[in-house]
Amino acid sequence: MSDHKVTVSTLAALRAREQKAVFITAYDYPTATFLDRAGVDMILVGDSAAMTMLGMPNTLGIGMDEMLVFVRAVCRGAKRAFVVGDLPFLSYQVSDEDAVRNAGAFIAAGCDAVKCEGGERVARRVRAMTDAGIPVMGHLGLTPQSLAQLGGYRVQGKTLDAVTRIVQDAQALEDAGAFAVLLEAIPAEAAALVRDRLNIFVYGIGAGPHVDGQLVISHDLLGAFVGDIRPRFVKRYAEVGRDIERAAREYAADVRAGRFPAPEHCYAIAPECEAEIRSARTTRALTSPSFAPTLP
Ligand code: KIV
């Protein structure tokens, strides 16, 4: 793996070698740094931050200001990975102007590309953004910003009609200049058909193996998501949430038992002052009233 910044050309080279791109979400500087050091190819600053980082029930409540905080932190940490900023709900749906301005803000903050949800119905916005020189990734299948229309977090593209619609939407995105499409929660065969029909990159999250790369939400991978949603497509590689709880319990027990701080955690006073300070403490202990809260 080279240390060079991942670009669209790097992604094309991966695809030409039939090597899958490794794609993970991140929302903060340390996670982006660790993922980058691990050699991840792409990082998505997802609007899933609403749920993973802010404890919201879905992705609809996060806006550009909050996303920009996460985007800037990730861009500081990701020196090599290709960073995609996820346009939040209502940041691109209303007008071409909004779409270009908000996508432009992500690029100015350091993203390599932006992502937006929807197919034919957002193709016009995708064209406006790509005409402004901004690389755009589409997002089809389970699109969480349309949760109310989809009736919940459900697998999409299970029937021929549904797959045909996804293919048409993907083609509309390609025609509008998108450089990639992300497919979420659709059957592997449906994703394979989309990939066969497109010339642009097709990435998947819960879309099986026949795509150009695999995305996972870092909190799912690491066992750090607080909530009940645990999609079938997630494979867990760590139990960070459990480790945080365990560490905090052990720390609390040490503090309460006086085991922390131990001598090795304390700073030494300058040796020539030690005796004087000790004696000042003893004098104070003898002359000042003992500390106790005064009750009314
Ligand atoms: O916000 C996000 O993390 C996403 C993925 C679920 C695809 O859009």
Q: Whose CA is nearest to atom 6 of ligand 1?
A: 48
Q: Whose CA is nearest to atom 4 of ligand 1?
A: 46
pTM of the model: 0.93
Which among 91, 82, 80 is positioned nearest to 44, based on CA atoms? 82
Does the beta carbon of 117 sit less than 6 angstroms from any atom of ligand 1?
no
Q: Whose CA is nearest to atom 1 of ligand 1?
A: 46
Q: How is residue 203 written in tokens?
A: 């990435």
Tell whether the torsion through CA atoms of 137, 37, 212 and 12 is positive or negative: positive
Please report the atom of ligand 1 found closest to the CA of residue 184: 7
Distance 24 CA to ligand 1 centre (A): 10
Give the domains, in start order, of the chain with CATH numbers: 8-238 (3.20.20.60), 244-284 (no CATH)
Mutate to test the pocket of ligand 1, among 44, 84, 202, 222 (most ligand atoms within 8 A of CB): 44
What's the pLDDT score for residue 296?
58
Q: How is residue 221 written in tokens?
A: 């991978």
Residue 26: exposure state from Cβ atoms within 10 A (0-12, 13-18, ≥19) = buried
Counting Cα atoms < 13 Å in the Cβ hemisphere of 252 gives: 6
Q: Are strands 136-141 and 201-205 parallel, antiparallel or unpaired?
A: unpaired
Question: Which of the 8 DSSP states describes residue 296?
Answer: -
User: Mind giving me the DSSP string for 224-261?
Assistant: ---SS---TT------HHHHHHHHHHHHHHHHHHT-SS
Which among 26, 42, 58 is positioned nearest to 211, based on CA atoms? 42
Please report the atom of ligand 1 found closest to the CA of residue 115: 8
Distance 133 CA to ligand 1 centre (A): 23
Please report the atom of ligand 1 found closest to the CA of residue 46: 1
Report the C-alpha gap between 124 and 116 in whole angstroms.
Answer: 12
Which among 48, 62, 21, 24 is positioned nearest to 153, based on CA atoms? 48
10-residue block means of pLDDT along the chain (296 residues)? 92 98 98 98 98 97 98 98 98 98 98 98 98 98 92 90 97 98 97 97 98 98 92 95 98 98 96 91 70 60
Please report the atom of ligand 1 found closest to the CA of residue 182: 7
What's the pLDDT score for residue 153?
87
Distance 276 CA to ligand 1 centre (A): 61
Does the beta carbon of 140 sit less than 6 angstroms from any atom of ligand 1?
no
Does the beta carbon of 48 sit less than 6 angstroms from any atom of ligand 1?
yes
Report the C-alpha gap between 98 and 95 in whole angstroms.
Answer: 5
Q: Is 184 a catalytic residue?
A: yes
* Of 184, 189, 264, 272, catalytic: 184
Instruction: Please answer whether residues 141 and 162 qualify as being in contact, where contact means their C-beta atoms are separated by less than 8 angstroms.
Output: no
Report the C-alpha gap between 74 and 68 in whole angstroms.
Answer: 10
